[in-house]
Amino acid sequence: MKKILIVDDQVEIRDLVEITLRVSDYNIFKASNGEEAIEIAEKENPDLIIMDIMMPGKLDGMEAARILKNSDKTKESIIIFLTAKGHKIDIKEGKDVGAAGYFVKPFSPLELINKVEESLRT
């Protein structure tokens, strides 16, 4: 069973993403900030991480993704950003970090699940 980690500081969004993913059998983990995300990722080694950018705490989503992609242990995890930051420059930064996808809020759950399934297949 594929493991997916959902990182968002808002519980509604975490729930929304989880419900969105419920069409298939995934082992789902949740984190509410960057530090927590890294902790879980290192422990569980998820296949895919859906990451918010603007979160409280020392590490925002972009920084957390950068750390994960630079770590031998977690660099294989696919990262998809899901954020309110919709500027071109933010999207470029996300791609540069090594994300497989970038969704701007408000997003379409259908599109998200398509992207997740497609990413996990390859």
Is 50 a binding residue for other proteins by CB under 8 A? The answer is no
Q: Which one of 36-44, 72-80, 90-98, 102-110 is the stretch in contact with other proteins (CB under 8 A)?
A: 102-110
Cβ contacts of 117 within 8 Å, gap of 6 or more: 24
Q: Which one of 6-14, 43-51, 70-78, 90-98 is the stretch in contact with other proteins (CB under 8 A)?
A: 6-14
Structure tokens at 71: 């770590």
Question: DSSP code of 121?
Answer: H
Report, in Å, the least distance between residue 105 CB and other proteins.
Answer: 4
Q: Which of 70, 75, 84, 92 binds other proteins (CB under 8 A)?
A: 84
Is 64 a binding residue for other proteins by CB under 8 A? The answer is no
In 28-80, alpha helices (H): 34-44, 61-70
Is 19 a binding residue for other proteins by CB under 8 A? The answer is yes
- Residue identified by tokens 């983990």 is 29
Question: DSSP code of 74?
Answer: T
Spatial contact of 83 and 90, defined as CB atoms under 8 Å apart:
yes
Is 114 a binding residue for other proteins by CB under 8 A? The answer is no
Give the containing element (helix H, strand E) for 40.
helix 34-44
Contact residues: other proteins, CB under 8 A: 9-10, 12-13, 15-16, 19-20, 54-57, 84-85, 105-110
